[in-house]
Structure 1
Amino acid sequence: MKASRTTINVAPQSSFRRTDGKHVLIAGPCSAESEEQMLKTAQQLKNLKGISVFRAGIWKSRTRPNSFKGVGTMGLQWLEMVKKETGLHTACEIANAQHAEEALKHSVDILTVSGRATVNPFALEEIAAVLKGTNTSVLLNNPVYPDLHLWIGAIERMQQAEITDLGVINRGYTADEQYIYRNHPRWDHMLQLKELFPELPILCDAAHIAGRRSLLYPVSQKAVDLGVDGLLFESHHNPARAMSSPQQQLMPQELDLLVNAIETKVELEGTNELVKQLDELSQQMDSLDDALLELLLRRTEVSAKLGIYQKTNIKGAPESVSWEHVFENLMKEANEVGVDKDFVQNMFQVVREHYAHTYRFRA
């Protein structure tokens, strides 16, 4: 997408804009679990330098039906108590209009719109209708799919709802198991959005991109170097007992060390040169995968044209491609050079499906 600057009506005193070189820092548990857990974690976070917002997951959108789905509305009561006891602003994630209504009833200061909602224009319009005229602070997560247009559409819908205290969160996109981070950060999407909407505050959810504690520093530092206005972390007074995502949550004391390291650019032990190399290699693999797929698709196109010339009187998809023969040769070569066979098989299937789709509609 070619970027062109777009004017957006953002409040001059936005809650999410970095001021005096200080980043907006939001932290709290992945999931609200109990009143005790919320208050204990919040009291410890309150004492950390720079933490201004306490966040907690109230509703958890789970892929599988029997996973922990969050405590629901009860957690909003605990958020109210946290605000009263600590003076911290509060935030929670919403995924539909009902969530938005409930959060507003319980005076949640910042609503973060789930990536599963950002990808759904119908859900976004319903949420926008609830928020219109409320002066609510809103953060839009990137959609779960790597489609920049969906993210832009979500911003535009909030604009139409006259939301001016608005920002976005880069929390990355789902990555395969071989990728170093839990979510692919797609820094290029974030930078394109920054070019499109230069006045729009951009935050980074370091926890969901990193996926584990050991990678929080490089993700956070990279985001800061790219000019984000703030960072989101997950913090729990006892991560080992957390009901969701324990591997990416920090104790408040650990978070304090991390924030200090980011501010001073003092790299934490075990996260410096090795992680940088792994990150660079992962990016190289992404580029190579794209190039390989492009070559395979081009080869298929050439093979199809050859088939058309050979069978000019036959309508429909050319049958000159012997898929079994191609697959057999690919697997043989993969075995000889030590390439992962599952990867080759997956790429082969993508090319074959593309071929079938393309020539079914050209017939």
Structure 2
Amino acid sequence: MENKKFQGIIPPEKWIKDCSTPLIIAGPCSAETEEQVMQTAHQLKNTGVVQIFRAGIWKPRTQPNTFEGVGSVGLEWLQRVKRETGMSVATEVGSAKHVFEAIKYGVDLLWIGARTTSNPFAIQEIADALQGADIPVLVKNPLSPDLDLWIGAIERLHAVGLRKLGAIHRGFFSWEKTDLRNQPCWHIPLSMMRQFPDLPIICDPSHIAGKRELVPEIAQRAYDLRMHGLMVETHINPDNAWSDARQQLTPANFSEMIQSLVGTDSDEPYNHNLNDLRTEIDEIDEQLLGMVARRMRTVEKIAHLKEEEKLNVIQPKRWQDVLVNVKTKAESRGLRPTFAEGLFNAIHEESVLLQSNIIRSNQP
């Protein structure tokens, strides 16, 4: 059921001159030097697909004494980008001071980063500073997978009169290490899209992927799910970037990726409920595989300990205790105990095989 919380949201087509969907925003993670900004901007302009050039001026970093952005001087470089390329420009803001500086220098679009979204006090300060302003603002999801916190941040901006609003999906932090930098948890932005169909949501595949070779796959997934655009980090020399070097594309690689993306027919009926649930299943399957892989890594350590202690690979008493515990917990969760027993027996068989191979390979 459609939520009426955000009334009067203005679509991206009416935000800025030449703006349309899919909304394509690209540029370096950080503005480092004027030369780097201008070269990147001109190369992106030549792709013919970038509507808004992005560059971080102030960088919220985890560790002190690291590069935290060039500051307001970088806003002068963005002014030059506008003059020479005609592209609109965007930057991240994390405080009222950033808002005032960015607007003073004619920045066309602002975005709020994940760390800032996670702090309602910071969001309210920014909202108060933006009261009466006519500028598009995009809000990245918070670090944690908290949909209410994300919605609440946008709600604070809407409450002060902003109507050119949107969201950026950049993935969520997880202690579990995978190939991705941040977990997509696609069901969360999809829930946002379902609740607020008029609120544009674009994807930041760079921060989800964390590795440039994975960015196209995430971007295609965002297109498949009918998100409203992309924000992609690009740099003329990514390997030497001052921040997030690993996930940035060259303008040429970026252009190739955009050309390779396959869109969907917007007129084709889209069953949000079915597709959302299938996406959630895919994510759960990925998590299951990750947990099984983690279990097998622990099994490897057990194999080495058993070898040192001259213990048998199979410990019948231990395994029977595991099965009893598994079947009891399965039943309490609405699963058939026999199903859980079969599943864990299959995992145990693979564990025994792995341990046996490790011990055998170390024998003279």
- The TM-score with structure 1 as length reference comes to 0.72
CA deviation vs aligned residue, 1:65-113 (integer Å, no higher than 9, x gap): 1221111111111111111111100001111111111111111111001
In structure 2, C-alpha distance between the alignment counterparts of 1:136 and 1:59, rounded to whole Å: 19
Letter matched to residue 201 of structure 1: P
Q: Give the unaligned 5+ runs of structure 1.
A: 266-277, 303-332, 340-363
CA deviation vs aligned residue, 1:102-134 (integer Å, no higher than 9, x gap): 111111111001111111111111101111111
Contact 1:24 1:50 in 2 (8 A): no
Give the Å deviation of 1:144: 1.0
In structure 1, C-alpha distance between the alignment counterparts of 2:241 and 2:213, rounded to whole Å: 17
| 1:114-263 pair list within 5 angstroms | 114-176=113-175, 178-263=177-262
Contact 1:113 1:139 in 2 (8 A): yes
CA distance 1:34–1:177, change in 2 (3 Å): farther
CA deviation vs aligned residue, 1:295-353 (integer Å, no higher than 9, x gap): 99x97xx9xxxxxxxxxxxxxxxxxxxxxxxxxxxxxx9xx7699xxxxxxxxxxxxxx
CA distance 1:122–1:338, change in 2 (3 Å): farther
Contact 2:110 2:138 in 1 (8 A): yes
Contact 2:59 2:69 in 1 (8 A): yes
Letter matched to residue 157 of structure 1: R
CA distance 1:80–1:281, change in 2 (3 Å): same
In structure 2, C-alpha distance between the alignment counterparts of 1:26 and 1:81, rounded to whole Å: 17
| 1:269-348 pair list within 5 angstroms | 282-285=286-289
CA distance 1:193–1:338, change in 2 (3 Å): farther
In structure 1, C-alpha distance between the alignment counterparts of 2:35 and 2:199, rounded to whole Å: 36
| 1:23-172 pair list within 5 angstroms | 23-172=22-171
Contact 2:25 2:50 in 1 (8 A): yes
CA distance 1:45–1:19, change in 2 (3 Å): closer
Give the Å deviation of 1:15: 3.4
Contact 2:224 2:263 in 1 (8 A): no
Give the Å deviation of 1:231: 0.4
Letter matched to residue 93 of structure 2: I
Contact 2:30 2:243 in 1 (8 A): yes
In structure 2, C-alpha distance between the alignment counterparts of 1:68 and 1:213, rounded to whole Å: 21
Give the Å deviation of 1:245: 1.2
TM superposition outliers: structure 1 runs of 4+ over 4 Å: 278-281, 286-289, 336-339
In structure 2, C-alpha distance between the alignment counterparts of 1:96 and 1:174, rounded to whole Å: 23
Q: Give the unaligned 5+ runs of structure 2.
A: 265-281, 294-321, 333-347, 355-364
Question: Which of 4, 8, 11 pairs up with 1:6?
Answer: 4
Letter matched to residue 15 of structure 1: W
In structure 2, C-alpha distance between the alignment counterparts of 1:93 and 1:220, rounded to whole Å: 21
In structure 1, C-alpha distance between the alignment counterparts of 2:353 and 2:245, rounded to whole Å: 36
Letter matched to residue 74 of structure 2: G
The SS at the match of 1:134 is coil
Contact 2:166 2:201 in 1 (8 A): yes
Mean CA deviation greater in 164-173 or 240-249:
240-249
Contact 1:54 1:89 in 2 (8 A): yes
In structure 2, C-alpha distance between the alignment counterparts of 1:193 and 1:287, rounded to whole Å: 27
Contact 1:41 1:237 in 2 (8 A): yes
Letter matched to residue 3 of structure 2: R
In structure 1, C-alpha distance between the alignment counterparts of 2:142 and 2:353, rounded to whole Å: 36
CA distance 1:255–1:128, change in 2 (3 Å): same
CA distance 1:152–1:279, change in 2 (3 Å): closer
In structure 1, C-alpha distance between the alignment counterparts of 2:176 and 2:98, rounded to whole Å: 31
Give the Å deviation of 1:55: 0.2
Letter matched to residue 76 of structure 1: L
Q: Aligned residues, how many?
A: 287
In structure 2, C-alpha distance between the alignment counterparts of 1:48 and 1:118, rounded to whole Å: 32
Aligned residue number for residue 321 of structure 1: none
Give the Å deviation of 1:286: 6.3
In structure 2, C-alpha distance between the alignment counterparts of 1:39 and 1:338, rounded to whole Å: 58
CA distance 1:125–1:279, change in 2 (3 Å): closer
RMSD of equivalent CA atoms? 3.1
In structure 2, C-alpha distance between the alignment counterparts of 1:287 and 1:227, rounded to whole Å: 29
In structure 2, C-alpha distance between the alignment counterparts of 1:72 and 1:338, rounded to whole Å: 57
Contact 1:180 1:282 in 2 (8 A): no
Contact 1:175 1:181 in 2 (8 A): no
In structure 2, C-alpha distance between the alignment counterparts of 1:40 and 1:178, rounded to whole Å: 35
